[in-house]
Amino acid sequence: MTDSKRFGGKVTLVTGGAGNIGLATAQRLAASGSAIALLDLAGDKLDEAVRTVAAAGVTARGYGCDVTDAAGVQAVVDRVAADFGQIDFLFNNAGYQGAFAPVQDYPVEDFARVMTINVCGAFHVLRAVSRHMVARKFGRIVNTASMAGVGGPPNMAAYGASKFAIIGLTQTASKDLAPYNIRVNAISPAFMGPGFMWDRQVELQARVGSQYFSTDPKVVAEQMINSVPMRRYGDIKEIPGVVEFLLGDDSSYMTGVNLPIAGGIL
C-alpha cells in the first residue's frame, strides 16, 4: 500500500523504463504521486510502458534514449527537465546482462559492450541528471547494481565487473553530491524471476558446463534457489518498494549505501 500523496509534485526519471524492473518501479512511484519520465530505446515497448504508467493518473512521458551516447543522454535529460520543470528522483536502472563464459574464453567485444552500457551508460545518466539536481540543491538517486557486484559469479566476468563498478560509482557520487543535498544509493537484486532474465541465466549457466552448475537447466535452477537462504527467487515486485524507500524521507540519513534484495545472500 502506497501513499498517493507521498511523492506528489515530484518528478522521477527512470532509465530502462520499458523493462520489467524499470516499469514495475515506475508504476510504484506513480502510485505514490510522482510524475514519470521513462527513458529507454525507442519503440513499441516504451510507448506501452508510458500508457501503463499514465493509467495511475500522473503525467508520464517516454523518451527514446541510448545511454551509451553521452551527448544524447545530456540532450534528453535537458529535455526532461524542460518538459517537467525539474528532476527530483533518478532510478538509474538500464543495463545488459551479457554473455556467459569463463574468463579465459569471454568474448572481448561483449565485455566492452557490457561495460559501455552498464558502467558508461549509468555514468552518463548520473552525470547529466546530477547537474540539474546540483543547481536546485536537491535530489535522490538510486542506481541498480547487483549481487553479482558483491560476490563475483562464475562465468559472468563482464556483468560482475560492471556491477562492482556501479557500487563504487555510487559510493564516490554520494560523497561528491552530499554537499548539494543529493543522496545516492544502490540496490543489488540477486536471483529474480520468473521471466526472461531468469530463464536466460539458468540456460546459459547450464550451457557453459562449469564445475559450479549442472548442464541440465532444471537442475541449475534448483542449485541457484538452494543457494538462497530463503529458498526461492525474488519477485520483480519486491524491488520497487526498496527503491521507493531509498528515494523517500524514511532513508533521509542514508547515502552511499548498497541494499541487497537477495533473500539472505550476503
Query: Can you tell me the distance from the alpha carbon of 77 to that of 224, in angstroms, rounded to the nearest whole number?
Result: 38
Catalytic residue, chosen from 96, 159, 212, 233, is 159
Instruction: Decide if 253 is catalytic.
Output: no
CA-angle at 46, arms to 26 and 78, nearest 5°: 75
Please check whether residue 149 is in contact with residue 162, taking contact to mean a CB–CB distance below 8 angstroms: yes
CA 63 to chain centre: 17
Query: Which are the contacts of 258, defined by CB distance < 8 A and separation ≥ 6?
Result: 145, 150, 167, 170, 185, 186, 187, 188
Asked if residues 96 and 119 have their Cβ atoms less than 8 Å apart, the reply is no
Taking the C-alpha atoms of residue 28 and residue 84, their distance in angstroms, rounded to an integer, is 19
Catalogue the active-site residues: 159
